[in-house]
């Protein structure tokens, strides 16, 4: 069985469509990720495994292959964690294909199952809106993604289990409202900076003679 989840790769400010394909088969137990991913992508399997375990889910004892298509497009950063996890849940029969096919999913997972914010929110949301699909985003990214369109379907999740609960109807997630992010750190004012004046050293000319023995 092969499950598919849509996500994006970033080429500068452009969000390029990426298809996350999850295949489970009998054979030697393994979990591999292919598709020209960097080190952060290769490490996704450990974060995904731990996040699913935090939900009380264990990966089946099968040969699991995750393909990030197109295979010749470099994949960077950690936002492939969430689509891989949702693809695995779909392959395990926990999420139906008609649900996962409606959304584009980027997000990083922590080991406790929480979905952490990622960069490139607005360009990705605008690209998703052009494709007439919904968006499953980290909760902190929801207000920024909402600026893309008033009609964009956004599921802003914090713990991963909220995706499963929303699909079952036990926890309906409301659409986030667009707002400007608040400054979390006060920036220094350049007018308060001072230039330290170094003491001047008088020049001696002609230079002192060198005495040799």
Q: pTM of the prediction?
A: 0.84
Task: Note the CATH number of domain 2-179.
Answer: 3.30.230.10
Helices (H), 39-160: 39-42, 44-54, 81-91, 97-100, 121-130, 142-145
Among 35-44, 77-86, 94-103, 171-180, the range scoring the smallest mean pLDDT is 171-180
Please say if the pLDDT value at position 185 is more than 60.
no
State the Cα angle at 70 between 65 and 72, rounded to 5°.
100
Averaged pLDDT of the chain: 91
User: Which has the higher per-residue pLDDT, 197 or 175?
Assistant: 175
Q: What is the pLDDT of residues 147-182, one digit of tens each?
A: 999 999 999 999 999 999 999 999 999 999 998 766
Q: Residue 14: enclosing H or E segment and its boundaries?
A: strand 14-25
Indicate the SS3 state at residue 159: strand
Half-sphere exposure of residue 8: CA atoms within 13 angstroms, side-chain side: 30
Structure token digits, residue 124: 């990705």
Q: What is the pLDDT of residue 13?
A: 87
Q: What is the pLDDT of residue 124?
A: 95
Q: How far apart are CA 134 and CA 61, in angstroms?
A: 32
Q: What is the pLDDT of residue 54?
A: 97
- Judge whether 20 and 83 are in contact, CB under 8 Å: yes
User: Which has the higher per-residue pLDDT, 187 or 101?
Assistant: 101
Q: What is the pLDDT of residues 118-145, one digit of tens each?
A: 999 999 999 999 999 999 999 999 999 9
Boundaries of every domain in the chain? 2-179
Please say if the pLDDT value at position 3 is more than 80.
yes
């Amino acid at each position: 069985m092969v499950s598919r989840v849509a996500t994006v790769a970033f080429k500068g400010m452009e969000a390029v469509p990426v298809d996350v394909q999850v295949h489970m088969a009998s054979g030697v137990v393994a979990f591999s990720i292919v598709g020209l991913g960097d080190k952060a992508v290769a490490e996704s399997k450990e974060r995904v495994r731990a996040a699913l375990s935090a939900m009380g889910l264990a990966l089946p004892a099968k040969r699991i292959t995750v393909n990030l298509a197109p295979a010749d497009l470099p994949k960077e950063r950690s936002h492939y964690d969430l689509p891989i996890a949702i693809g695995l849940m779909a392959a395990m029969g926990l999420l139906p294909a008609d649900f996962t096919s409606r959304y584009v999913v980027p997000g990083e997972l922590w080991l406790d199952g929480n979905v952490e914010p990622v960069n490139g929110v607005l360009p990705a949301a605008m690209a998703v809106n052009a494709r007439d699909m919904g968006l499953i985003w980290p909760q902190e990214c929801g207000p920024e993604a909402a600026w893309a369109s008033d009609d964009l379907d956004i599921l802003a999740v914090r713990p991963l289990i909220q995706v499963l609960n929303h699909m079952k109807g036990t926890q309906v997630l409301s659409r986030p409202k667009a707002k400007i992010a608040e400054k979390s750190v006060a920036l220094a004012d350049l007018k308060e900076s001072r230039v330290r004046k170094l003491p001047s050293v008088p020049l001696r000319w002609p230079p002192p003679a060198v005495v040799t023995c």
